[in-house]
Amino acid sequence: MEEGLAKKLKILADAAKYDASCASSGARGRKGGKEGLGSTTGAGICHAYTPDGRCVSLLKILLTNYCLFDCAYCINRRSSNVARARFSVAEVVTLTIEFYKRNYIEGLFLSSGIIKSPDYTMEQLMRVAKALRDQGFAGYIHLKSIPEASPWLIEQAGLYADRMSINLELPKAESLKTLAPEKNAATITGAMAQMKTRIIEAKEERRRFAPAGQSTQVIVGADDASDETVLTSSAVMYGDYKLRRVYYSAFSPIPDASALLAAKPPPLLRENRLYQADWLLRYYGFTVDEIAAGGTNGMLDLEIDPKLAWALKHRAGFPVDVNSGPREMLLRVPGLGARAVDRIIATRRHARLRLADVARLSPGLRRALPFLITADHSPARLTDRADLRQRLVHRQMSLFG
């Protein structure tokens, strides 16, 4: 690789690390064949773990970190004193194909600062994806959409990309107005709505348009939004706009930071708890109000995961009998995952489950013990113990320490 291109790659790969909204779950059904390159079949992206446990990778870069916008929380904002670089369309295409041939990557995640105008920037991103497809590249492509760009350009990009993402940025519209004055919350959600419509139409008409759907990223800790506010925003994204994923990115201090930003970065554990809560929203039937009730003043409990926090505050509903309890309550037993619950329900049709049976069906049995009943186990008064929280916290710490 020539020196100039290597320097650009170093700058623009580093600049892209702040965007967490990349994954390929949902992409399927296209192989490169003998004359093509890559495949999306059965693979994920962005150093994510696929359902079968494989870790997959991508070339994650910005087209450029020059930007007309001056978002206070962004390292690449207009007023930031950082090294700048810009790839040409041809350079990104060459890097992607060459990296794939060397088995470095399985796809491309491409975002960009705003150069010249939102339309010009979106056109450049679209041209990269189109050029890759024209050269036979059948690997995964995730493009960052520019919400201020023409809907026609975004629609064209969706013809070549596997996933599109539009960053919500901040959970509160007023915070976005203060910290990112060139951006507009209504414009962002409007673009998400248009994307949802295009994806639904394409499925109904059996044509290709961003088959892996759309995702977004929310920055946590840059403003004073509580976890409850963040999760309420996520619930709207999943419900109204049918997003595949909401990614949470803990605000990271940047040089010459604005006084409008939070004085201290949030603990990284907060980001982890939000991901756990997000999982409860999507797969376990919890509402935002229920999850928030497990914490204090709208903030999740950092000491224990949100499912355990809810269970401890609703002990009257426990213990649950694995041999007769409804699925919705088994899903709320700490330590029991959705797959384990489905296995339990399938197995109990044929036999009464004992503790050893549940242990074979779920790796989280130790955490579940105070909250469930089996044919040979009852927690007696363990669920009511005043020190149950301390005992479970100590158990969690011993597992990770």
Does some domain include residue 297? no
- Does residue 276 surpass a pLDDT of 80? yes
* 201 and 319 co-located in one domain: no
Does some domain include residue 261? yes
Does some domain include residue 254? yes
Record the pTM.
0.86
CATH code for position 82: 3.20.20.70
* 342 and 195 co-located in one domain: no
- Does residue 391 surpass a pLDDT of 90? no
Does some domain include residue 279? no
What contacts 24+ positions apart, CB below 8 Å, involve 231-240? 231/274, 231/277, 231/278, 231/281, 231/288, 231/291, 231/292, 232/171, 232/288, 233/168, 233/171, 233/172, 234/278, 234/281, 235/281, 235/287, 235/288, 237/168, 237/192, 238/281, 238/282, 240/189, 240/193
* Residues of the chain above pLDDT 90, percent: 65
* 141 and 235 co-located in one domain: yes
Does some domain include residue 102? yes
* 342 and 253 co-located in one domain: no
The domain boundary residue, chosen from 266, 299, 331: 266
* 232 and 324 co-located in one domain: no
Which pLDDT belongs to residue 400?
A: 36
* 170 and 259 co-located in one domain: yes
* 43 and 125 co-located in one domain: yes
Shortest CA distance to 101 belongs to which of 54, 38, 57?
38
Does some domain include residue 281? no
Quickly state the pLDDT bin for 253 (edges 50, 70, 90).
confident
Mean pLDDT computed over 268-294: 95
Does some domain include residue 291? no
* 60 and 194 co-located in one domain: yes
- Number of independent structural domains in the chain: 2
* 256 and 332 co-located in one domain: no
Per-residue pLDDT reduced to its tens digit, 135-178: 999 888 999 999 999 999 999 999 999 999 999 999 999 999 99
Does some domain include residue 278? no
* 38 and 179 co-located in one domain: yes
Domain that holds residue 390: 314-400
Per-residue pLDDT reduced to its tens digit, 214-226: 999 999 999 999 9
* 85 and 202 co-located in one domain: yes
- Residue 199 one-letter amino acid: I
* 323 and 233 co-located in one domain: no
- Tokens 């909204």 map to which residue? 21
